[in-house]
Each structure stands twice: as structure tokens, then as C-alpha cells.
Chain A
Amino acid sequence: MLFFSYFKDLVGKEVTVELKNDLAIRGTLHSVDQYLNIKLENTRVVDQDKYPHMLSVRNCFIRGSVVRYVQLPPEGVDVDLLHDATRREARGG
């Protein structure tokens, strides 16, 4: 549940989601759920010319299982907090 909570804290921030099919989509994180499915708003594809069909997509739902990376804004990462949470999770609660 750690990463679910973590992503929930990032809602409203601008992120880039890289998919397993090499498509990279940038947008505002609208919401995330337990499967780490992601909803993005005001989306734009990083390599627009290669994916012309994505031109008119303004918001989208991405299935968690196809995500490879999520690029985060540096200010969205509190390393100390994340360390603490990780240790707590590893202890089992």
C-alpha cells in the first residue's frame, strides 16, 4: 500500500508516465487506485509525431499493468519521509 499512498500524495502534480510500449505521456495526475491505475488530465504525448492518434486525447486512464516508469517532479519526493515509511512497512505495520 506504500506506493498507493505515495502516489495519492502526488495528485495534482505534473508527471510523465512511460508505458511498456514506449509511449510517454505527460499530464497532471488526477487520481490513482490500488492497482496503480493512473488517470491523467491535460495530457500530451512526448513524441507527438510518432503517435498522431493521441493528438486529441485530453485526459486518459492508464492501466497500472502497462506502466514502466513514472517520472516525478523532484519537489514531490520527500526522501526522509519515504525512508521512514519504507522501514515501517518492512516491519509490517
Chain B
Amino acid sequence: MKPQDWNEGLNHLDQDLVEEYIELKDKKRKPKRPFWMATVAAALVVTIGLGMLAGNGILPSNPPSLETLPATEPSTPTTAAPTQPVVTNPATIAPTRPVVTNPATIAPTQPVVTNPATFAPTQPVVTNPPTTPPQEPVIVPLNNLVYEPVYPQMMKYPSAKDYNTNSVGFYKAVEVWKQDRRNQYLQPDGYADSLTDYFQKSTQQFLQGDGNQVYSPLNVYMAMAMVAETADGNSRQQILDLFGLETIEQLREQVNNLWNAHYCDDGVTSTLLANSLWLDDSYSYNQETAQLLANRYYASTFNGDLGTDAMNQQLRSWLNENTGGMLTEQANNISLPKNTVFSLASSVYFTASWDSKFGEKNTKDALFHAADADRKVPFMNKKLMNYTYFWGENFGAVELALTGNNSMWLILPDEGYTVADVLASDEYLQMTLNSEAWENQKKLDINLSVPKFDVVEQQDLVSGLKAMGVTDVFDSSTADFDIVTDETPVWVDEINHAARVVIDEDGCKGAAFTVIVYAGMAPPPDVDEIDFVLDRPFAFIVSSQDNLPLFAGVVNEP
């Protein structure tokens, strides 16, 4: 048998075998996230349910269904004989928006209690309740997708390989990339000023309670902005008021700015935002509203029988894909009620690595003094030389740099104060939003000790939003969603927000753990070296390059 004959035979291999091979090949190829990455994801689902389902006969008997929205590339077949395309080598940069489907690789940290007796703690040392085994993320084909937005493109960080020995060419390409990033990030001065109030109010509202708390101010903003787009009259106005804006046009401008200031997909850092609109096929909808959400919010549109298992699975799948599988369990908790008229979902996925890693060897178990008991948990340690230490009325803080000019703030209340005390004032917010101008800062050597944590929270935002003055959308008698559909009364039934922040380490020397004590409005510390030990409940904020809070949370039980 000659090789040619073999090849001829193999040419006739069944196609499904090749397909299986391709699938297996791709599955194995998925990159693993480096161990030391900080990984953050949030997802938020707003479901809008309808009232008086059967009672008033409002339901159309033979409802028209939403027509498929026009695709972005309407391609009309030509009648002429097909021309032979000229195949050239198109640009080698072929950016794709990565759909993140691999579940978070960072295992949740689980404190281990070893021989608690030797520490003679004053309080009992407890372990956290065992976490349930990680659930497989639901990933199903999104068959009911009727419109998919074209995401804006971002220039990729150039690959040195493409330039081989041409280092000048490479550095020029890096410069072009940098300029591209700068241009994108160039927002009007002070555009975020109106947001401060919202950040302050919402942080106080959504970070209450005993356990770990976390939410994404940006994610909630995006989702509520979409709700405002679908609402009218006072329903809309209350949301604008919450955001400190007067008109919907201002909100659109703001959303545009925020998107630009955050969306990042350049191959180095990822901050991926995604939105989607879920429509029930028993109703007809105002096409303009759907189109507007698609254009301005990059919302994918789905159309089907909401409330069925199949649609719930697709919604979960969409959430999993857009949060990197970090919120699998929370996504599984999402199921739309049968009477859902439409639903909005919004997600943020963020991953960046520490500019300077923590050394794994320096991670040591130590006691964390939670409100109810002491816990023995792994602490990451690092000496920060000549580093800026910030402080305020009742807290101290450091800002750790992440790639892409993002950062994580660690805010520790002074002894005798609680996290709630710190969050009650907007001092910490002023500090994080404008750290350069913050008066209370000093360069010191800081012995940082921070527990590894994996904080996750799922909460219903309805009562919090009501407390902040957004009430009409939740009440069937006042909610005004006529601009989406006027076939039936519609109100917002549930706003389900889930967020998770995980930090991990790698690098550095062990440092002594000592508790830093500052009381009252401290004078600048008159030492050159301090220990900054986050061994009691503390707050954190993940800030974007624009200093805006992407995530905010409280660690009560690491």
C-alpha cells in the first residue's frame, strides 16, 4: 500500500470524526489562568415580571412575535455569477472578544485549623462551613439568540513573535497600542463627578450585614441604566435621580463614557462588560427599544418562552459564559418565573494580575478576628518599600496595583471602629476616587499582611433600591414600561445581583504580624515603617484605571 493510497483513503474519513477531533482539540487548549491572578466577576440579573396574568384578559390571543432584528451585516445575495475573491493576507491582528467559558481555576481558599490550642485564643477558633463541591457551569447552545451586537474592537498588545528580530518595529507597535489605550480612556474631565453620590449611597446600602459582602457598583449602574431605558415617566426619573442626572440623554452619555473607561480586552487585562435582553415570545415589543439597547448597551437579544427550563438554561449559560464560570452556583439559582414578560441581564468579568506578586512561601496561617470568633486563615505577606500609606478619620488604607492601571484598595478600620463606621462617611470614597489629592498620605515601608479571600454574595437589590428612592418600577400600579410593550402591565419583580472577588498570591518575605492602632484623626505616623495587618473585618474596593469602583466589598470571614 502506498502512502498516496492511504491518504486518499483518509481523505474520505467521515466528517463527524474530524468534528469530534476538533472539539477535543479545542477543549484541551483552553488556557489556564495563572495562579496569582486576582480574579473578579459579577453578574446581575434584573427580571421584569408581569402582573394580572389571566384576570383581565389583557393577553393577546394570537400574539405577534418579535421579528428577528436586522443583523449587522445584511448580506444580499447577488444574482451575478460569483466572482472569485482576491485572497490577500488581511491584517494579522484578528482580535476576537474572548468568550470566557472555563470556570474559575482559583480554588476557594479554605482555612485550615491546625492545633488551635497552641494559640490559646480568647475566642473560639472556628472553620468556615465546608463549601459545597463546585458545580459544573451550565453551558448550552444559545438557540434563541436573535440578535448579537458587534462589540467594539480593541487593539491587542503586540506580540513580540510577530516582530522576530525587528525590535524597533515592536516598540513602535507598543507605542501605537499605548496611544490607542490612552485615546479610549480619554473621558471628559469630571464626567464621573455625578457618580460619587450614587457610589456612596449604594455602597452603604448593599454592603450591610454580617457575612462577607460584595457587589459591583459599575454592574448595578449598567443594569439600572438599561431599566431606565425601558421605563418612562416617573419610573425612569427616579433612576435618573439616583444617578444624579436630569435627562436620559445624559445617562446615555454617561454609559458611553463608563463603557469606554472600563471595557478592556487587549490581551493583557480583561474587563468585559456584557448585557442581554430576554423577551417572551407571547408579546410584541417596541422594536426601537430593543434596537436601542442593542446599539448603545451592546445587548444581545433573546426571544423565546421565558420561564421554561430551556430558556432558563440559556440564561444561565449566558451568565456563565460572561462571568468566566465564576458564579456557577449563583447562576443556577436564577430562574425566571412563568409570568416574566422580559428580563435584562448585565455582567462584568474582570481579571488582572498583581503588578508585584505575593510570594507563596510567605503565606502563613494566622488568626483573623471575625466578629463572632477567631479564624485561622492563610495570610499573604509582603514588604512594600517606600510605599504610600493612606489614612482617614477612622481607617488606614493601601492601594495595590493591578495590571491595566487597575488597583485594589484595602481599607482597615482603626481599632474600635467597624467597617460600617467607615462606610457611613464618604471619606474613603473621596480618597479612592482622587487619591493623588488626598491629604493624609505618607511614604513608608509597609509590612502588609492580608488574608487570601474568596468573597461571594448573591442578593436581591429591590429593598436597597427602594431605600434609595427607586420605588415606582416595583409597583404594578405605578410602573411605566409602556415603551417596551403596552400589551400588559409590567413591573420589576426581582433584581438579583451576584458578585465574587477572589485574590491569590505568590512571592516575598514573612513579616511580623502586629496590630496597628490609630485612634481618632491620626497625625501622620511618625515612623518609617508600619505593619498593616488586615486581621479583622475590612473593606476593599477594586478600582478601574479611572479610579471608579468596579467592585466593593467587606471581608468579615475570609
Do A and B make up one complex? Answer: no
Using a CB–CB cutoff of 8 Å, the interface residues on chain B facing chain A are none
